[in-house]
Structure 1
Amino acid sequence: MRITIYSPEVYTYGSMVVGGILSKKHNVHLIRKPNNALFLKSDVVILSLYSTLQIIDENIKNIVNFIRSSKRKTKVYVAGCVSSYPEIILNELNVDGVIVGEGELTTPNIVEGDTEGLAYWDGNEIVVNYPKEKPDLNHPMPLIPKDIANQNIRGANVYIETHRGCLGNCTFCQVPKFFGKEIRSRDVDLVVEEVKEFKKRGVKRIAISGGTGSLYNFKKSVNRDKFYELLEKISSIVGKNNLSVPDMRVDYVDEDILGAIKNYTIGWVFYGIESGSDKILRDMKKGVSTKKIMDAIKLAKDCDVKVGGSFIVGYPTETEMDYLLTKDFIVDAELDDIFVSIAEPIPTTELCKLVLNTPKEENPTFMRHEGEYRHLNLTESEARCFDLLIHAEMWKSSPRIMTKQLYAIYLNEAKTQGKDIRKITELIFKYKNYL
């Protein structure tokens, strides 16, 4: 059987893993750019989607319609993290089904006609058959594309998954529901062999991730030797300047973990800070306080580790005072880098439900900004995103001069995010009965 996996723009790790499993029995092509000729030659096309926006992307819809109109009767499935909300996909895209959950076990059978792990239309009714088991993460070698070294995801050629699951309860995140709260980790030696193979294919920069890097092999009352061993072995292959562990929770770092980050990686941690308001942190169910976050920032600096932080603005319950507290926090933190996002209501998350229960005229994503940036015609979320980007630049450890060009980049970033979040919000309102 000829199977094409299309992962738009980026070869996601999940698409490579499923590609590797399917290639044991089938002729599999993994692409990140549309290839109509290849689509028409395929018996099955799997769209590996990783963003809600891709569901309503006209380019994706056109690809689906093109494939479905062919005489070959090619089967078309959607997979990826968007499969958490199959009802939306099946209403928006004319596909044969959605591969729900973790697809390593079910996909090989689905392409041959099985329905376990598949959501599909049965007449006028949507049937969702969730998989009965969770897959073993010690899977065969992924299908590595020839041009993998050409892609750049936040500075890395590839993100390699080391574990799944999260202990957190963040309202804006779908990871705990998608993968569960139990931490399931891969064997160190298998990850190392994978890194060697990626290096052979030209990959230089590698990031390892499972949501929160330091949760690898995490169990209560168990030492972290496996985490340190993992970093040391990968670093010996690619070099410390080519390895990063990008995402960390502030409540799962200590001196030993930060020491390993310092010794075996590029020497950066990226904390999900989200807000400088304890009230908003409680609303988000972050499970930490601003004091805990500031202590983790100080600890990293004391260990000579650089600190990046991500912030979310436009949360439905965020007031002007909450936002000002975030600005004050940034002044005190003196972070080395900062990322700002407008709150995204990913379907099935608690934030999604909160947005559905918030009148649009009270939602910062739709409220017109009437303050300092009124002349720019921004929503309140866009204005806070733009303002925080500018503000944060001034209080970084190494600030840049705010040129017209940088100003324009930040303004465009805020407007683009605002436009995208409005599209997603309109989508969830359209299908609120499913959510």
Structure 2
Amino acid sequence: MKVIIYSKDIYSYGAMLISGILKEKHNYDVKLVRNLSENNLFLNSDVVIFSLYSTLNILDENIKNTIELIKKSGKTRVYVAGPVSAYPEIILNELNLDGVILGEGELTTPEIILGGKNGLAYFKNDEIIKNNVEKKPELDFSKIYIPKDIEKQTVRGANIYMETHRGCLGHCTFCQVPEFFGRDIRSKPLELILNEVKALKRRGVNRIAISGGTGSLYNFKNSLNRDNFIEMVKSVSEIIGKENLSIPDMRVDYIDEEILCAIRDYSIGWVFYGIESGSNELLKKMKKGTNTAKNLRAIKTAKECGVKVAGSFIVGHPDESEYDYLLTKDFIVDAELDDIFISAAEPIPGTELCKTVLNTKYEENPTFMVHSGQYRKYGLKENEARAYDLMMHSEMWKSNQKVITKNLAKVYLEEAKMQGADIRKVTELLFKYRNFII
């Protein structure tokens, strides 16, 4: 059985894991690819799985055309898997497929490749059948598939984001993680993590980021398991080197001095907080479970421990007022972050934000509202204008300020426009299938 797994642009950890299971445990002839130029591989395979992570992937004309080409051969079955499987009705109506592999596919994919239907969504007599699987897999799989050129890829500065656990305790309305992976924390055995790190290092990987949504939740059992988290970070660091390890993603309510000092001592010494807004009212609507005082305290604690802090912010949320936005600008002044990332609010199917967007009129949604303020000469939508303005504002209040040159301003303007265009495409697609979602 020849199986191709396509992972768009990067070798995602999920695609590497499924590939390893199919190859090592089931002896399939598996190849993992990240570009669409290898048509012969696709056409000469028994099964092709498209591992997709974003709603935008569904609208990608190159992906659509490749799927159509494969299906014309008449001999290859084509499936879609990954986080987009949360909305199979949209995928099956937009792409010509044999089915969508639902949820976490480690247990079901081997059966589906043999023709099974458990864990699959598919058309039958013009009706969509969804065979959901409630059971969540334990993270005790033996080997990931490591592509030969893995050391050449860069994902936010790392060659790979390595999964140590799944699940999130949060209820953020814009996030798909707890909806997809659940709110129970499932952690990998330390021995398996260390074996993967050693294998990645042998293959030439020189920068690893520890992932899982919130790094400190590793082995969470009703409370933070600091000792296990610190042991894991220290052990990984001893193999790959602290200068080659990052543990970026953290919630401000699941850190303390012990955890931050371990990040300082055993990694490159950065954390990435999802702050999202400087407005307590908007943070409540987002169900962040935190507030501006907690956010500022977490930033201060990290800096006192000698850890650099990056923060992410979301603009253009349907509930974000002009006053909320101005509070975010004020927060950035007070926080003095070391780095800042700005993104426009994206409605991901399966999230509360998606439903909020679909219940908001176009003319009241910043994604479609025409900006009439100081950047109107650029023809921006309101979410684009806020993203652009906050990017520029942030540069003046980072710990290491940059001079805003014309070239830098142009880069930020193009980034804001690109985000705006992408989110409009996604939103329009979701309105097309509103009845499936609401």
Under a length normalisation based on structure 2, what TM-score does the superposition of the two structures give? 0.98
Note if 1:88 corresponds to 2:116: no
Q: Are 2:311 and 1:309 equivalent residues in the alignment?
A: yes
Matched pairs, number: 434
SS in 2 for 1:76: strand
Q: Distance in 2 between matches of 1:405 and 1:187?
A: 48
User: Residues 424-435 of structure 1 correspond to what in structure 2 (within 5 A)?
Assistant: 424-435=426-437
Partner residue of 1:351? 353
Aligned counterpart, 1:60? 63
Secondary structure (helix, strand or coil) at the match of 1:397 reads coil
The separation in 1 between residues aligned to 2:225 and 2:318, in whole angstroms, is 40
The CA RMSD over aligned residues, in Å, is 0.7
- Could you say which residue in structure 2 is the equivalent of 1:6? 6
Task: Give distance in 2, aligned partners of 1:310 and 1:251.
Answer: 15
Q: Corresponding residue for 1:276?
A: 278
Amino acid at match of 2:380: L
DSSP-derived class of the 1:18 partner: helix
CA–CA distance in 1 between the matches of 2:177 and 2:318? 21
Query: Which residue of structure 2 lines up, in the alignment, with residue 16 of structure 1?
Result: 16
Partner of residue 364, structure 2:
362
Q: For residues 393 and 122 of structure 1, do their structure 2 counterparts lie closer, same or farther at Cα, with a shift above 3 Å needed?
A: same
CA distance in 2, matches of 1:200, 1:422: 43
Instruction: Render the CA deviation track for 1:219-245: whole Å, top value 9, x for unaligned.
Output: 225641110011001101111111001
The aligned residue for residue 423 of structure 2 is 421
Alignment of 1:313-352 (within 5 A): 313-352=315-354
SS for the counterpart of 1:196 is helix
For 2:108 and 2:384, how far apart are their aligned partners in 1?
41
* Residue equivalent to 2:377: 375
Q: Share of identical aligned residues, percent?
A: 64
Q: 1:334 is aligned with what amino acid? A: E
Q: Which amino acid aligns with 1:117?
A: G
Q: Which amino acid aligns with 1:49?
A: L
Match of 1:195 among 194, 197, 202: 197
Deviations 1:84-116 (A, max 9, x none): 001100000001000001000000000001000
SS in 1 for 2:80: strand
Tell me the distance in 2 between the aligned counterparts of 1:85 and 1:56: 14
In structure 2, the residue corresponding to 1:328 is in which secondary structure? Answer: helix
Provide the C-alpha distance between the structure 2 equivalents of 1:70 and 1:59, rounded to a whole number of angstroms.
17
**1:109 pairs with 85, 106, 111, which one?**
111
Moved over 3 A (4+): none
Shift of 1:428: 0.6
CA contact (8 A) 2:219 2:225 kept: no
Task: Report 1:251-290 matches (<5 A).
Answer: 251-290=253-292
- Equivalent residue for 1:40, pick from 38, 43, 46: 43
Instruction: Kindly provide the amino acid, as one letter, of the partner of residue 191 in structure 1.
Output: I
Q: Structure 2 CA distance, aligned partners of 1:223 and 1:210?
A: 15
Letter of the 2:32 counterpart: L
Equivalent residue runs for 1:202-221 within 5 Å: 202-221=204-223
Cα separation, 2, equivalents of 1:331 and 1:23 = 51
1:121-140 mapped onto 2 (5 Å cutoff): 121-140=123-142
**Residue matched to 1:233:** 235
Secondary structure, aligned partner of 1:69? helix
Structure 1 pair 221–78 and aligned structure 2 pair: CA distance change class (3 A): closer
Q: What's the CA shift for 1:132?
A: 3.9
**What is the alpha-carbon distance in structure 1 between the residues aligned to residue 31 and residue 266 of structure 2?**
35
Where does residue 402 of structure 1 map in the other structure?
Answer: 404
The AA in structure 1 aligned to 2:291 is S
**Deviation digits for residues 353-410 of structure 1 (CA, Å, limit 9, x no counterpart):** 0000000000000000000101010000000000000000000000111111111110
Aligned residue in 2 for 1:76: 78
SS at match of 1:272: strand
> C-alpha offsets along residues 126-148 of structure 1, whole Å, 9 cap, x if unaligned?
00101242112111211100000
Q: Distance in 1 between matches of 2:332 and 2:223?
A: 34
- Aligned-partner Cα distance in 2 for 1:141–1:282: 41
Does the 8 Å contact 2:315/2:344 carry over to 1? Answer: yes
* 1:51 and 2:54 aligned: yes
Q: Which amino acid aligns with 1:385?
A: A
Q: Offset at 1:298?
A: 0.4
Structure-2 separation of matches of 1:141 and 1:201 = 14
- SS of 2:309's equivalent in the other structure is strand
Give the match's secondary structure for 1:9: coil
- Match of 1:250? 252
Counterparts of 2:433 and 2:370, CA distance in 1: 25
2:374 & 2:406 partners in 1: Cα distance?
18
Residue aligning to 1:298: 300
